[in-house]
Structure 1
Amino acid sequence: MSRYMMIMRVDPAAAADFADVDFSEVIESMGRYNEELIKAGVMLAGEGLCEPEDGFVVDFGADPPVVTDGPYTEAKELFNGFWIIETSSAEEAKQWARKCPLGPGVKLEVRRVSETEEFDTDNPWIQKEIQWRADLAEKAAQTARVAAGR
């Protein structure tokens, strides 16, 4: 199994066209899509993002890095949300990406998420990464047990 990140990118001109769309319809179509991903057992995470005015960019081309508050006038496309899915193949990830209820002016960039096993596991930082992930998984399991009242 491999994990893939599907990154939603919206052309700013297309985003202006969305102003006339009933947002409850957008939520409903995305909700149905997310439910399909969950029922199929492939969705690991997914989030929409707030408007660029609420964010900032850190440019490491200078020392110290320069922070610029949004919106980002130089952006050709805005990163509006993402999903992380786990599928048996790149072809299956493509099939899920094609099903996403998006329209003109919107693209999904799909990239495989690297796994720690792909790196030199003798490296102390990779060993720490493996331990951090195990600690986070245990913390999530504890939270789930508490929430379930056990």
Structure 2
Amino acid sequence: MSELIGPELVHVGVDARSRDDLFAMMAGTLGECGRTRPSFLQGLVEREKTFPTGIPINGGVAIPHTDAEHVISDAISIATLSSPVGFREMAGTDDTEIPVDVVIMLALGGSGQHLTVLQQVIKAIQDADFMASLRASTSPDEIAALASGKLGLGKS
């Protein structure tokens, strides 16, 4: 069993020029770690076009994810950004983008688990102290431990 959120999947202080650059970096790491198929990145990009994932809460967070067919082994990747990147708002009615500086990318294979983990993540990001701790940390190990603890997740 592997950790759902390991420090190897955490990116701290990322200087991303765009959402696509950020997706490529995070999906690349998930692929290199054997968690996702080569189709994962394209799946993310396509899904984000139709179902945007930006949430204007506690400073702007995004929770990008895609279909289970692109996943080999469940994982969550987290990135804190040095400068916000624009994401369209989840359940938004137009193309207005919100600034996001924390991205929690889900790579989940089981459809039942997908909804459960998404709900846990949405609950967690509503905690201002938790989000402040993520943003303040400069350690992938610390961010992985904070997120695993907050989400109640350990081994997958």
TM range (shorter): under 0.3
More contact order relative to length (CA 8 Å, sep ≥ 6):
1
**TM-score, scaled relative to structure 1:** 0.25
